[in-house]
Amino acid sequence: MGWLSKIFKGSSHRISEGQYHEKYGDDGVWNEPSNSLDTLSEYENDDIDRAIALSLSEEEQKKAKAVENASTLEEDEQLARALQESLNADSPPRENGHAYQPVPFLFSSGFRICAGCNTEIGHGRFLSCMDAYWHPECFRCHACNQPISDYEFSMSGNYPYHKSCYKELYHPKCDVCKQFIPTNMNGLIEYRAHPFWMQKYCPSHEMDGTPRCCSCERMEPRDIKYVTLDDGRKLCLECLDSAIMDTSECQPLYLDIQEFYEGLNMKIEQQVPLLLVERQALNEAMEGEKNGHHHLPETRGLCLSEEQTVSTILRRPRIGAGNKIMNMITEPYRLTRRCEVTAILILYGLPRLLTGSILAHEMMHAWLRLKGYRSLSQEVEEGICQVLAHMWLDSEIISGSGSNVASTSSSSSASTSSKKGSRSQFERKLGDFFKHQIESDTSPAYGDGFRAGNQAVLRYGLRPTLDHIKLTGTFPC
């Protein structure tokens, strides 16, 4: 027990085979005299009596001290056992890098109550964590209910967790690669999130070629295979479900939007051809157009005023191996100028609601030209066209089954019933996303123009706003 004296100063008791050795006199030995008391002188008898009395007094003191030392010895042995158990214990847990040490001091029974089992903590190991005391086996993870014996642990609210359990529950996973989003050099979790869909993904996916859906703009998860259109665009399977792929398939939607304009008392009298085209044909037609404003950064719709020959999609292509579009059949369409508008072109392969909003936008361009609205600024013309696209989307979302004006065309209702009747929750969400795109556009023409035009329409109404634009070329304040 010599090592105890190095830890606890002042303890100098020695133990040898469990016996306590008493010492008498200066030399540690008291020799009993061999002579008889009868032969001693009176003086010697007096000396002997005093010696005996002194010896008996010392013996009583020694016995009392021995009892005291034995009690102290027992306490030291218990203290030594408690300390040894603490030294043999595993490293204590810590939160956020700060260790919670088990207290290696001995307390009497009932001095500490375990916060886990609410029983007394007697002699032995215990943990001091979270402003409470615990049996080691009672300090458990709130997720898996197993004891926390690791050197570190995590907290959420007032509950402790294994670091692995906490990570599984609270550390965000990438929606693209399905792995935990890594921390940056400062130890912070850094990720990107889509402002509408709230899709979380690793920042590295913005530079590693991970594709996005050309419609909903969500990144492609690694376990999902998108459809690849012939021009390289990616289309997710949910957007593909309502995608319009050829000119004939788009005609019922065109009739719906014409009726939407009629309901606003803005009927277009002239018959304007509608053609669904590939990206290359749309870009070529845009280059041949002398006037007009176009969608940026990518053109998805165009209102033509010039005579051209345009390649239009004749029949819906099929999806072949590797989810790629195959058997695209097109035919040339010669546009002749009979009025201020020769045709409306829409990019193929987009969902019905996106196709419809683009078509409503381009039809407003056609209406303005046919009604004599000349030399409008880009902000005013594109702004009011976006207002009409937004209004159409709003009517579709509110009605849930088509435009705000019920279709009276038997061919229209028959052709679109499958599309409208099977409107999925995702498609309704998609409509909200396309409205969000219009509302949050940051460009001066399409974004600022829409917000100025929409504010004017909400304050004064659509028709007074259009009359003010025709007279002044600006939105009413």
Q: Give residue 55's pLDDT.
A: 58
Q: Which of 143-157, 284-298, 340-354 has the lowest mean pLDDT?
A: 284-298
Percent of the chain with pLDDT over 90: 34
Mean pLDDT estimate for the chain = 76
* Angle between the N-to-C axes of helices 378-399 and 425-440, in degrees from 0 to 180, rounded to the nearest 10: 160
Q: Dump pLDDT digits (tens) for 99-110.
A: 444 443 334 344
What's the rounded Cα separation, in Å, for the pair 189 and 181?
7
Q: Which residues contact 157 (CB under 8 A, 6 or more apart)?
A: none
Q: Give residue 18's pLDDT.
A: 27
Q: How many CB atoms lie within 10 A of CB 472?
A: 10
154 pLDDT more than 90:
no
- pLDDT band of residue 34 (cuts 50, 70, 90) is very low
Q: Dump pLDDT digits (tens) for 372-388.
A: 998 899 999 999 999 99
Give SS3 for 65. helix
Q: Which of 94-108, 172-186, 303-317 has the lowest mean pLDDT?
A: 94-108
Give CA 467 to chain center in angstroms: 48
**76 contacts 5 by C-beta, under 8 angstroms:** no
Select, from the ranges 221-230, 294-303, 441-450, the one with the highest average predicted confidence (pLDDT): 441-450
Select, from the ranges 7-11, 79-83, 158-162, 347-351, the one with the highest average predicted confidence (pLDDT): 347-351
**453 contacts 441 by C-beta, under 8 angstroms:** no
Read off the tokens for 355. Answer: 């196709």
Q: Give residue 68's pLDDT.
A: 53
- pLDDT band of residue 98 (cuts 50, 70, 90) is very low
pTM: 0.65
Q: Give residue 435's pLDDT.
A: 96
* Residue type at 382 in one-letter notation: E
**229 contacts 277 by C-beta, under 8 angstroms:** no
Select, from the ranges 56-65, 147-156, 232-241, the one with the highest average predicted confidence (pLDDT): 232-241
What's the rounded Cα separation, in Å, for the pair 206 and 197?
16
SS3 sequence, 196-240? Answer: CCCCEECHHHHCCCCCECCCCCCECCCCCCCEECCCCCEECHHHH
Q: Which of 47-56, 90-99, 247-256 has the lowest mean pLDDT?
A: 90-99
Q: Dump pLDDT digits (tens) for 324-374.
A: 877 788 889 898 888 889 999 999 999 999 999 999 999 999 999 999 998
- pLDDT band of residue 200 (cuts 50, 70, 90) is confident
- Residue 42, beta-bridge partner list: none
98: phi then psi, degrees, rounded to nearest 5:
-105, 125
What's the rounded Cα separation, in Å, for the pair 201 and 181?
7
Give SS3 for 52. helix
228 pLDDT more than 70:
yes
Q: Give residue 292's pLDDT.
A: 53
Read off the pLDDT of each residue in 199-224 and give the average, rounded to a whole number. 86
What's the rounded Cα separation, in Å, for the pair 269 and 258?
10
Buried b / exposed e over 285-316, threshold 16 CB at 10 Å, is beeebeebbbbeeebbbbbbbeebebbbbeeb
